[in-house]
Amino acid sequence: MLERGEVANSWRRERWDSLRLLTPNWLSRLPGLDYDGPDPDGFMTTGEVVEFIERFARVAAAPVRAGVEVTAVRPADDGYHVATDRGDLHCRALVLASGACNLATVPALAAGVPPEVHQLTPLGYRGPGQLPDGGVLVVGASATGVQLAAELRRSGRPVTLSVGEHVRLPRVYRGRDVHWWMHESGVWDQRWDEIDDLDRARRLPSPQLVGTPERGTLDLNALTALGIELVGRFAAVRDGTALFSGGLRNVCALADLKMNRLLATFDEWALGADVGPSEEFAPTAVARATRLKLDLRGGEFSTVIWATGFRPDYRWLDVPVVDPKGRLRHDGGVVDAPGLYALGLPMLRRRRSSFINGIEDDARAVIDHLARKL
């Protein structure tokens, strides 16, 4: 196992200070290592995630060679040639477990943002104190965007959130964590080879969730209550003015409808289960008129944060298995090149593949295939 940094590198270096997992402790488990602390319904801090993964590396006696960065992988006779900053290797089979979120995706229109506005991605964000004074425009309303918007607003700054298509979920439904429902009802077990539109499932944005001791919901209504202004999807910058879509109402309607459909499937599944009484959530409230233009030169905003998603970095992969959109071509982790495999990508084999607790089944299946090939 080659690791360019240390074990749990992404959790040491690529997360903001206040981040906690959005999956509850009892679900944050690795093969043979369940959570055994005092707070199964709580959410780990990044420091606790690092400890947890380090502990797993020790228990599993993982043969990690830390501080070795892979700089190129090329097909070679009967396998792959792996170039690293500490010398080269040859292997017969290779598993790409380099992460799904190495790079922050920033839309091309960012180039039009005036130079006086500070721009940043979640990979560079640590906390509100790091930003210059002034208002913040957070672009993207998935888990990252809603969490950063809330934290910045609570620090006293004016915050505007640009909202495109998103996934709304309550933290707790009928007395149970929403991830309990995902896990128990079988939603997370939906398989990649049985799903209607795999492409869409793999691109699904992360849900508007946060892990806090209060187990509060962080949907758009909660953000509005904090005093955050919602605007539509960021569409263009013209002469220093940011232009937003007038379609906010519909993306909210779509998210409400989808959430209600999901909760209805939970209700159906839960007939007779030990859960609380039925619950309904108010539709997302959208102001009668949302702003369609914001002057980025006028001084209202000092910072734009692009919470517009993450993607894997395959620049070092010299094997023709990445499509024009930068996505790895694979079938349930079996990559489209002999002896090449992948783990840790969204919806790799199941909906739960995006999460730490999804690795167990995925690794078993992928390693099984690999072992048979060898």
Ligand X SMILES: Cc1cc2nc3c(=O)[nH]c(=O)nc-3n(C[C@H](O)[C@H](O)[C@H](O)COP(=O)(O)OP(=O)(O)OC[C@H]3O[C@@H](n4cnc5c(N)ncnc54)[C@H](O)[C@@H]3O)c2cc1C
Residues that bind another protein (CB under 8 A): 165, 232-233, 235-236, 238, 243, 245-247, 250, 253-254, 257, 260-261, 289
Would you say 1 or 285 has its CB closer to ligand X?
1
Q: Is the distance from CB of 358 to CB of 324 less than 8 angstroms?
A: no
Would you say 36 or 196 has its CB closer to ligand X?
36
Give the Cα separation of 239 and 222 in Å (integer): 33
Residue 9 binds which entry of ligand X, another protein, none, CB below 5-8 Å type-dependent: ligand X
Q: Is 192 in the site for ligand X (CB under 6 A)?
A: no
Would you say 106 or 243 has its CB closer to another protein?
243
Write out the binding residues for ligand X, residues 337-366 only, by CB under 6 A: 344, 355-356
Name the amino acid, one letter, at 303.
Answer: T
Residues in the chain: 374
Count CB atoms within 10 A of the CB of residue 287: 12
Query: Which two structure tokens, joined as six digits, stand for 365?
Result: 């299946």
Cβ at position 99, least distance to ligand X in Å: 2
Alpha-carbon dihedral angle through residues 128, 179, 354, 204, given to the nearest 10 degrees: -80
Phi, psi dihedral angles at 103 (to 5 degrees): -120, 150
Write out the binding residues for ligand X, residues 233-252 only, by CB under 6 A: none
The interface region with ligand X, picked from 9-17, 112-120, 179-187, 239-247 by CB under 6 A, is 9-17
Give the Cα separation of 53 and 72 in Å (integer): 26
Residue 235 binds which entry of ligand X, another protein, none, CB below 5-8 Å type-dependent: another protein
Cβ at position 98, least distance to ligand X in Å: 4
The single residue among 10, 217, 221, 302 that binds ligand X, judged by CB under 6 A, is: 10
Cβ at position 303, least distance to ligand X in Å: 19
Would you say 2 or 322 has its CB closer to another protein?
322
Cβ at position 290, least distance to ligand X in Å: 27
| CA 363 to chain CA mean position, Å | 20
Q: 142 in helix, strand or coil? A: coil
Rg (CA), the chain: 22
Would you say 163 or 370 has its CB closer to another protein?
163
Give the Cα separation of 162 and 35 in Å (integer): 36
Q: 187 burial class (0-12, 13-18, 19+ CB within 10 angstroms)?
A: middle
Would you say 10 or 308 has its CB closer to ligand X?
10
The single residue among 25, 121, 144, 302 that binds ligand X, judged by CB under 6 A, is: 144
Q: Is the distance from CB of 215 to CB of 171 less than 8 angstroms?
A: yes
Please choose, from the candidates 85, 111, 102, the residue with its C-alpha nearest in 3D space to the C-alpha of residue 2: 85
Site string for ligand X, 278-317 (x = CB under 6 A): --------------------------------x-----x-
Q: Residue 265: in which H helix or E strand, if any? A: helix 248-269
Contact positions vs ligand X (CB under 6 A) = 2-5, 9-10, 15, 21-23, 69-70, 97-99, 101-102, 144, 310, 316, 344, 355-356
